[in-house]
A and B are shown apart, each in its own frame.
Chain A
Amino acid sequence: MRSKSGILLHAIGLVLIIAFSLFPFYWMVSSSFKTQAQILASPPQWFFTPTLQNYADIFADAKVVNAIINSLIVATSTTLLAVALGTPAAFALARYEFKGKSDLWFWFISNRMTSPIVLALPVYLIAMYANLLDTHIVLILIYLTFNVPIVVWIVTDQFKSIPPDLEQAARLDGADQFTIFRKIYLPLGAPGIAVSAIFSFIFSWNELLYALVLTRRNVQTAPVVATSFMSGYELPWGKIMATGTVIVLPVTIFALIVSRHMVRGLTMGATK
């Protein structure tokens, strides 16, 4: 039995942690509804009349709207492709023995050991020679090299936890490999696939370095545009915060939708 004071301490701790992690968020969202003067006021104004001017400003700015559309295109395509390419690879790695399996596995892991900045210049040059600079494709391709390994990692692990008997039962039931993958492994691997899809989406959505290096005017993504506000003489805090809020929104929505699949114990009941 936990004592009453124990529960109380636990609750206080939880509240502190939640407050600590949500406060910056609150600050960003509330500031996006303030005027520049209200934002800079000291002591901070906790109560104020909200204004939508900042949002009106940024949505009037074609640059911001375009950037969000670009980000959506890049992040969605990357995530879909990473899952589509990564899950069959994970199935093979989890369930089959083949030549070069361990090398392939090592490649998937070591891939992320290099710091991205090290590769920025070679990638830039390759993209330039391939005539791909400032296109969606180049960002999608480069993000895939980061995201496919993540999907493969997480999903392989998830697939390995599926009892092999299920696959054999399905084989006896007359299912071919592809059907087994589609009807057994994909649904039962859903939690891992969901987690890796969220990672993939967040990564592609927030990535700044390659987005800066590889894009110019046409395919600027949201983080690039958000930083571009910080170049003038006076920082337009309200617009920055409003852009930030708008940037965070799609990721949050995506994560909320997908996290419905992140339930534990999907394979419960398969075996005794």
Chain B
Amino acid sequence: MSFLQLDTIKKTYGDVSVIKGVSFAAAKGEFVVFVGPSGCGKSTLLRMIAGLEDVTEGHLYIDGKDVTYEEPAKRELSMVFQSYALYPHMSVFENMAFGLRMAKVPEAEIKTRVTEAARILHLEPLLDRKPRALSGGQRQRVAIGRSIVRHPKIFLFDEPLSNLDAELRTQMRVEIAKLHRDLGTTMVYVTHDQVEAMTLADRIVVLRAGLVEQIGTPTELYDRPANTFVAGFIGSPKMNFIKASVTGVGSGSLTLANPSFVGGTLSVETVSTGRVKAGDTVIVGLRPEHLELNAAQPLLSLTLDFAENLGGATQLYSRSEGDIVAIVVHGRPDVKPGDTLRVGIEGRHIYLFDANGLAL
């Protein structure tokens, strides 16, 4: 049996259904990331795992045991809150020791464990300080330290890095990844930052409006998104979507029409030719980083709207018949607004979705 298992978990507040049936299982030691837009129910799901919210329907198992109605403390989990939720009147040491005190761990053992956590998180010089005398990153570390000392079965993180500045966020991200590698504990991590999801996760659970859209490794989600929502959510900048109509169905390929295709049509190889017929609309997905300028065999003809210089790379926003197509290129191409761009892409990088947004 899986280490952490959610079996059609539902949550309603009054009449409002927030989680509409989520099933999912994680193996021991796995790093699972919940992603999804704001309000999709990530925190709610995490808090149900923690036991801070009642489960309306469904079952939750940890380490083979049904803990759906178990007290939070008995689940042997620890959580790092979106707001760090440090005890402001206690020193860093006492913040970390609090849970151990509650568990009646002997004083000597408390000292050992807190010192150990402080060493891992570089908090040793700060043990006597109060949280208000710490920087954001240090508070974050204390919050993580408070989780570590209890040797929990599962770590839960609710957007732990969302309020840190960009540099600190990257640094803490790396530290959390290291922590997972060193401790080997199962972790469930909530974020709406897809970079955090991609870099930290063994597996990503993409949520939308209380439902799972797709579960998979970061690479799976990037390479084979189940639908346009996942395709648009994973990857940055966002995938470009162009609507096209099917004009011909061959064996193993489709001919698609849209005015921005060079010559008005585009031939795409696919195995799912059976699911569309001539006259249908499909959605073509193109990742900005896969598009190339001045390709030998251009497939798209676009007009440049404006360009953003990112230093090492340039982000081009171009237009075709009402669709905006973003392109990321290395260096600084010599183009100016109004120019016609002839853009190419490798055939294997073209994503196809049906009119409802499901991958073909």
The finding on whether chains A and B are genuine partners in a shared complex, rather than unrelated, reads yes
Contact surface of A with B, Cβ cutoff 8 Å: 163, 165-166, 168-175, 179, 183-184, 187-188, 265-272
Q: Is B163 an interface residue (CB 8 A)?
A: yes
Q: Is B99 an interface residue (CB 8 A)?
A: yes
A167 and B134 CA atoms in complex are apart in Å by 21
Q: Is B195 an interface residue (CB 8 A)?
A: no
Q: Are A175 and B85 in contact (CB under 8 A)?
A: no
Q: Are B134 and A269 in contact (CB under 8 A)?
A: yes
A166 and B95 CA atoms in complex are apart in Å by 11
Closest to A171 in B: B72
Name the contact of A270 in the complex, choosing from B51, B82, B88, B103 (C-beta under 8 A).
B88
Report A1 CB to chain B, min CB distance, Å: 29
Q: Is B306 an interface residue (CB 8 A)?
A: no
Q: Is B73 an interface residue (CB 8 A)?
A: yes
Tell me which residues across on chain B come within 8 A of A271, comparing CB atoms: 83-86
Contact surface of B with A, Cβ cutoff 8 Å: 50-52, 72-73, 77-79, 81-89, 98-99, 102-103, 130-134, 136, 139, 146, 150, 163
Q: Are B73 and A266 in contact (CB under 8 A)?
A: no
Q: Are A173 and B83 in contact (CB under 8 A)?
A: no
Q: Are B52 and A269 in contact (CB under 8 A)?
A: no
Q: Are A188 and B52 in contact (CB under 8 A)?
A: no
Report B193 CB to chain A, min CB distance, Å: 16
Name the contact of A269 in the complex, choosing from B50, B73, B103, B130 (C-beta under 8 A).
B130
Tell me which residues across on chain A come within 8 A of B103, comparing CB atoms: 174
Among B77, B83, B131, B163, residue most surrounded by chain A Cβ atoms (within 10 Å): B83
Q: Are A266 and B88 in contact (CB under 8 A)?
A: yes
Q: Are B81 and A165 in contact (CB under 8 A)?
A: yes
Assess A270 versus B72: contact at CB under 8 Å? Given A172-B52, A172-B77, A265-B132: no
Closest to A267 in B: B88
> Would you list 19 pairs from A and B whose C-beta atoms are within 8 A, ordered by A residue?
A166-B87, A169-B85, A171-B73, A172-B50, A172-B72, A172-B99, A173-B102, A174-B73, A175-B102, A179-B102, A183-B98, A269-B88, A269-B130, A269-B131, A270-B84, A270-B85, A270-B86, A271-B83, A272-B84
A32 and B78 CA atoms in complex are apart in Å by 64
Closest to A265 in B: B132
Tell me which residues across on chain B come within 8 A of A268, comparing CB atoms: 88, 131-132
Name the contact of B163 in the complex, choosing from A183, A187, A267, A272 (C-beta under 8 A).
A272
Report B129 CB to chain A, min CB distance, Å: 9
A175 and B81 CA atoms in complex are apart in Å by 17
Assess A168 versus B52: contact at CB under 8 Å? Given A174-B102, A184-B87, A266-B88: yes
Among B77, B82, B102, residue most surrounded by chain A Cβ atoms (within 10 Å): B102
Q: Are B99 and A174 in contact (CB under 8 A)?
A: yes
A188 and B78 CA atoms in complex are apart in Å by 23
Among A173, A179, A268, residue most surrounded by chain B Cβ atoms (within 10 Å): A173
Report B71 CB to chain A, min CB distance, Å: 8
Report A56 CB to chain B, min CB distance, Å: 47
A74 and B244 CA atoms in complex are apart in Å by 86
Tell me which residues across on chain B come within 8 A of A269, comparing CB atoms: 86, 88, 130-134, 139
Q: Are B102 and A270 in contact (CB under 8 A)?
A: no
Among B78, B79, B133, residue most surrounded by chain A Cβ atoms (within 10 Å): B79
A269 and B90 CA atoms in complex are apart in Å by 10
The 5 nearest A-B residue pairs measured at CB:
A269-B132, A269-B131, A271-B83, A173-B99, A174-B102
Tell me which residues across on chain A come within 8 A of B85, comparing CB atoms: 163, 165-166, 168-169, 270-271
A272 and B132 CA atoms in complex are apart in Å by 10
Tell me which residues across on chain A come within 8 A of B51, comparing CB atoms: 172
Tell me which residues across on chain B come within 8 A of A168, comparing CB atoms: 52, 72, 81, 85
Name the contact of B98 in the complex, choosing from A163, A173, A270 (C-beta under 8 A).
A173
A172 and B77 CA atoms in complex are apart in Å by 7
Report A202 CB to chain B, min CB distance, Å: 27
Q: Are A172 and B98 in contact (CB under 8 A)?
A: no
A268 and B50 CA atoms in complex are apart in Å by 26
Q: Are B98 and A272 in contact (CB under 8 A)?
A: no
A266 and B89 CA atoms in complex are apart in Å by 7
A184 and B132 CA atoms in complex are apart in Å by 16
Identify 19 new A-B residue pairs, CB closer than 8 A, beyond the known A172-B99, A173-B99, A175-B102: A163-B83, A165-B82, A165-B83, A166-B87, A169-B85, A171-B52, A172-B72, A173-B98, A173-B102, A173-B146, A174-B99, A187-B89, A269-B131, A270-B83, A270-B85, A270-B131, A271-B84, A271-B85, A271-B86
